[in-house]
Amino acid sequence: MKALIVEDDFTNRKVLQQLLQPYAECDIAVDGQEALMAFKKAYETDVPYDLICLDIMMPELDGHQVLKEIRSYETERDIRYPKGVKVIMTTALDDPGNVLGAFRQGCEAYVVKPISKTQLVHEMTKLGLIGEGTTVGE
């Protein structure tokens, strides 16, 4: 599996990177602009991401805007569910409006920070990204 971690905080990046390591080959983007660049480049070079872990609260381009751009990029190319990238929003905001907004914009799941391994693995399993005993390259 190929994953992109979008996170502006260093500590959060490290946590996600380490928790995803057994399951995915991970790239990192430190802000929304970089995330969109990475997403488009991966798609254009025919090695799209299977999963994007997307932080909501980031300076400049936030997670909601990035998600919107991703989905409109996919729609323009007729990439439709379930073929698009799976997006898990990562958020410290327990504000239901924020999460609802993200679902409306087309995220598949969300995990609340501080991120726990159990929660992350549970969501990835539900999305069919991993099965039991899945490791990198599968």
Partner 1 sequence: MKDLNPKVLDKPAALERLGGDEQLYEEIVEVYRADMPEQLQRLTDGLKAEDRQLVQLQAHSIKSASANIGAEQMRAMAQRIEAVAMDDEMESLTQLTGDLQKKFEELLVYLDGGN
Interaction site with partner 1 (CB under 8 A): 8-12, 14-15, 18-19, 57, 59, 92, 113-118
With a CB cutoff of 8 Å and minimum separation 6, the contacts of 18 are none
What's at 56, amino acid-wise?
A: I
Smallest separation, CB 76 to partner 1 (Å): 31
User: Minimum CB separation from partner 1 for residue 36, in Å?
Assistant: 20
Nearest CA among 93, 21, 23, 43 for reference residue 64: 93
CA-derived radius of gyration, the chain: 14
Compute the distance between CA of residue 130 and CA of residue 23 in angstroms, rounded to an integer: 7
Closer residue to partner 1, CB minimum distance, 15 or 129: 15
Query: In the complex, what is the shortest distance from the CB of residue 19 to partner 1, in angstroms, rounded to a whole number?
Result: 7
CB 16 within 8 A of CB 30: no
Place of tokens 């898990």: 88
**For residues 33 and 72, which CB has a smaller minimum distance to partner 1 in the complex?**
33
Taking the least distance from each CB to partner 1, the nearer of 45 and 118 is 118
Q: Select 9 or 34, whichever has its Cβ closest to partner 1.
A: 9
Neighbours of 27 (CB within 10 A): 19
* Least distance from partner 1 to the Cβ atom of residue 73, Å: 26
